[in-house]
Amino acid sequence: MSYLVLARKWRPQTFDDMTGQEHVVRTIGNAIKMDRVAHAYLFCGPRGVGKTTAARLLAKALNCEQGPTANPCGTCRACTEITSGTSVDVAEIDGASNNGVENVREIRENAKYLPQRDRHKIYIIDEVHMLSGAAFNALLKTLEEPPGHVKFIFATTEAHKLPDTILSRCQRHNFRRISAARMLQRLKEICLAEKAGISEQSLSLVVRQSEGGMRDALSLLDQILASCGPDPTDEAVAEAMGAIDRTVVQDFAEALVRKDAKRVLGRVDEVFNRGLDLKRLAEELALQLRHLFVTKSLGEAPQELAESEQKALLALAKEADTAQLSRLFDIVHGCIWDVSRAAQPRLALEMALLKAIQLSPAGSIPDLLARVERLSAGLGAEGATKSTSGAPGGRSGPSNFRV
């Protein structure tokens, strides 16, 4: 039997298994329980957060032999065929490759006929925004008044490209990016089941790289296990992902805070010689400075980070000043675009980091204001002394002054 990738192996088979989309699960579950299921749904959100999975689960819930139910059995013929993609009454259509009027006309003709076996005939159209304008127009009438046995479920990452006439005929559900804490916990559970000894710091790096998409995270995890084996080191994980090692980023942040120009240039040279993306380095460093600023402001490190990273941030935050961190972040974040567009990215990054070291304020804003007030008070006292002692008898001006 061929290997099943983790993204497919761990795809949720019930609504309870879905991570981070409780608001959608609750709404759909209530609709099924109260027999208020709409004829057309639109699932929109970032990639890899569960839109197509939720569409399949809804199809199972409606066609399960024990349903309609919010908890399909997963073992009946309808459920197993929907899982394997072989159901005769549930059609999964790729909107990118079936985007013409003739494809929609075929859907309209087939929708007239009753399901061959199941309760509903369901059309799941993925990346529906890829349909042409004429195809959308051809679908309007059927979408507004479909036969009672037909349900439409659309999924898209770009809902703004859909015509208003389509949006107004669908019940829309917005899928969220999965929070870092929830994704980290889920990856720990999967690693435990897969008997993979990947550290929390490496999993935190996977979470950051996936940007809220569970499918991306599982694909990266698959890549790590294939490249490094079941017990990889943190350095091996970063190398396999083509990412910047977190210890390198932390070292950059320490050098900037401590104004160690030689250390900064040495680290840039090291990253450059390893062939890593300098734009990615600037992005990771800006994110690290953001974490450091949050730690300094709140007195605690972001919870989505590994425990070792939180301790390092707390220690460094004690050395840094908020005004200095703000200035460092502004310069590093501003150089990301310059590095990505520069003919010599290394020079652009080095000059930005040196500028961040040289121009970062030496004291906090409150300290600077206090110094200005003390100087102003001193100057005021000196001026008053001169005005009272500048003329005989305490007079402030010459006696022979005439208009």
pLDDT tens-place string over residues 228-287 = 888 888 888 887 887 777 788 888 888 888 888 898 898 888 888 888 788 888 888 998
Averaged pLDDT score across all residues of the chain = 85
Q: How far apart are CA 217 and CA 206, in angstroms?
A: 6
Which segments within 219-328 are labelled E, that is strand?
Answer: none
pTM, two decimals, is 0.74
Q: pLDDT value at position 403? A: 41
Q: How far apart are CA 68 and CA 86, in angstroms?
A: 20
Q: How far apart are CA 219 and CA 210, in angstroms?
A: 9
Condensed to tens digits (0 to 9), the pLDDT of residues 38-72 reads: 999 999 999 989 999 999 999 999 999 887 888 88
Query: Tokens 């992005």, residue?
Result: 283
**Residue ranges of the chain with pLDDT lower than 70?**
1, 360-368, 380-403
Task: Concatenate the DSSP letters of all residues of 354-391 into one string.
Answer: HHHHHHS-SS-HHHHHHHHHHHHHHHHHHHHHHHHHSS
Q: How far apart are CA 264 and CA 156, in angstroms?
A: 43
3-state secondary structure of 112: coil
Domains and CATH numbers, the chain: 6-174 (3.40.50.300), 180-241 (1.10.8.60), 246-359 (1.20.272.10)
3-state secondary structure of 103: helix
Q: At what angle do helices 345-359 and 278-298 cross, to 10 degrees?
A: 20
